[in-house]
């Protein structure tokens, strides 16, 4: 039997139960992950639901349970490959674990009160913040309301909030070691005008490792961020090209901007005249035009650990905060 799509909004679990010849509780169990129900009953219920065009009202169900299985994902932007890949991996992992992600992109003009209203009124199961700099009010209010909260690539000191970061110290040290082992006697770190927590740690750790190795390390400071930062940094690197330097950028996107500009505008030969290391191992880094040596941190592993932290926080909201560190590794390609 076919169904009229204009009438599906009126279809209830009672209608499905009546059509399938089962109890309403059986219908509820059929659409509850992990609930016990016989294969025969499930088949009858799904057939009836399909014929009637029935869909579970997840929000209403969540309000009845005092939570919704919705998880708010707050990001600053999706303008770089690494951020896009991270959000994609996290969303897929949430769905796999039975959650339903809600994505919010934060910028300077975002109405924070409206966002908080959505997050709290829909009684989200939890919130994951992957943004470098979301409004502090969001973090503080989630913590105050005891909404399970996990922060990625941050080091905020808030109660009942879990943190997950890459091993940025190890990554930056690996970058310095690779450049020095390649014979570079002078190192350069490109420092963007606005650095998030991870960027600051990488810059500091790279400088510290250079000092340990007894190698001079200078800074090329730029105002823009991401690709444009690399473009602007080219002038500062060119000025020191006679030292055949080894250059470290805190993201692959910055490194690719620098690489493009040096090769295509200034004719610099890499790795003959200098070496270059980025960070993140985005897909473009392995493309033939780049062959960028970089530090790899797995978006999938970040997603897995993030969701595990969130699930533990939901189960035990008063537990001591955790700070998980995801391992990184050097990926050597043609720029070193």
Q: What is the pLDDT of residues 31-65, one digit of tens each?
A: 776 678 998 998 999 899 888 877 665 545 544 45
Nearest CA to 253 out of 216, 211, 283, 288 is that of: 283
Count of CB atoms within 10 A of residue 47's CB?
13
- Locate all alpha helices (DSSP H) within 145-242, ordered by sequence: 168-181, 197-212, 226-238
Beta bridge partner(s), residue 247: 188, 276
**Residue 1 pLDDT:** 43
Structure tokens at 287: 């493309």
Domain that holds residue 205: 168-296
Whether this model's pTM surpasses 0.75? yes
Tell whether 94 and 193 lie within a shared domain: no
| Cα–Cα distance for residue pair 334/336, rounded to 1 Å | 6
Give the residue from 38, 56, 74 where a domain finishes: 56
Could you say which of 56, 73, 88 is where a domain stops?
A: 56
Does 334 map to a domain? no
**Which of 203, 215, 219 minimizes the C-alpha distance to 177?**
215
Query: Same domain, yes or no, for 223 and 255?
Result: yes
Task: Specify the number of domains making up the chain.
Answer: 3
- The reply to whether 278 falls in a domain is yes
Pull the structure tokens for residue 154: 């941050």
Same domain, 249 and 204: yes
Identify the pLDDT of residue 242. 95
**Which phi-psi region, left, alpha or beta, contains residue 123 (left: φ > 0; alpha: ψ -120 to 50)?**
left
Q: What residues are paired with 296 via a beta bridge?
A: 280, 329
Residue 36 within a domain: yes
pLDDT at 4: 47
Answer yes or no: is 155 within a domain.
yes
Distances from the Cα of 23 to the Cα of 17, 65, 251, angstroms = 6, 20, 57
Residue 77: give its domain's CATH number: 3.40.50.2300
Residue 51 lies in a domain: yes
End-to-end CA distance of the chain: 66
Residues in the chain with pLDDT values less than 70:
1-10, 33-34, 55-68, 107-113, 121, 131-135
Supply the DSSP string of 256-318, one letter for each residue.
Answer: HHHHHHHHHHH---TTTT-EEE-SB--GGGGSTTT--BEEE--HHHHHHHHHHHHHHHHH-TT
């Amino acid at each position: 039997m076919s169904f009229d799509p204009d009438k599906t909004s009126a279809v209830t679990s009672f209608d499905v139960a009546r059509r399938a010849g089962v109890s309403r509780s059986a219908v509820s169990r059929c659409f509850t992950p992990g609930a016990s129900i016989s294969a025969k009953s499930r088949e009858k219920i799904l057939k009836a639901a399909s014929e009637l065009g029935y869909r579970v009202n997840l929000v209403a169900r969540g309000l009845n349970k005092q939570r919704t299985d919705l998880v708010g994902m707050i990001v600053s932007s999706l303008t770089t490959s690494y951020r896009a890949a991270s959000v994609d991996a996290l969303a897929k992992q949430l769905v796999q674990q039975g959650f339903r992600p809600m994505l919010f992109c934060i910028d300077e003009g975002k109405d924070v009160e409206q966002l908080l209203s959505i997050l709290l009124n829909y009684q989200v199961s939890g919130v994951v913040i992957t943004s470098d700099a979301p409004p502090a009010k969001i973090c503080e209010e989630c913590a105050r309301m005891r909404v399970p909260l996990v922060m990625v690539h941050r080091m905020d000191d808030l109660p009942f909030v879990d943190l997950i970061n890459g091993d940025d110290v190890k990554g930056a040290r690996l970058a310095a070691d690779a450049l020095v082992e390649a014979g570079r006697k002078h190192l350069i770190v490109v420092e963007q005008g606005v650095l998030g927590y991870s960027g600051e740690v990488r810059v500091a750790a790279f400088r510290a490792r250079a000092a340990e190795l007894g190698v001079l390390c200078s800074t090329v400071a730029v105002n823009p961020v991401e690709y444009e930062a690399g473009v602007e940094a080219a002038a500062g690197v060119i000025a020191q090209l006679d030292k055949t330097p080894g250059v470290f950028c805190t993201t692959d996107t910055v490194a690719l901007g620098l690489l493009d500009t040096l090769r295509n505008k200034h004719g610099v030969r890499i790795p003959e005249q200098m070496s270059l290391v980025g960070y993140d191992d985005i897909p473009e880094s392995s493309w033939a035009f780049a062959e960028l040596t970089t530090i790899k941190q797995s978006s999938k592993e970040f997603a897995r650990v993030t969701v595990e932290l969130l699930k533990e926080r939901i189960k035990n909201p008063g537990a001591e905060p955790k700070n998980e560190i995801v391992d990184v590794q050097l990926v050597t390609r043609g720029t070193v």
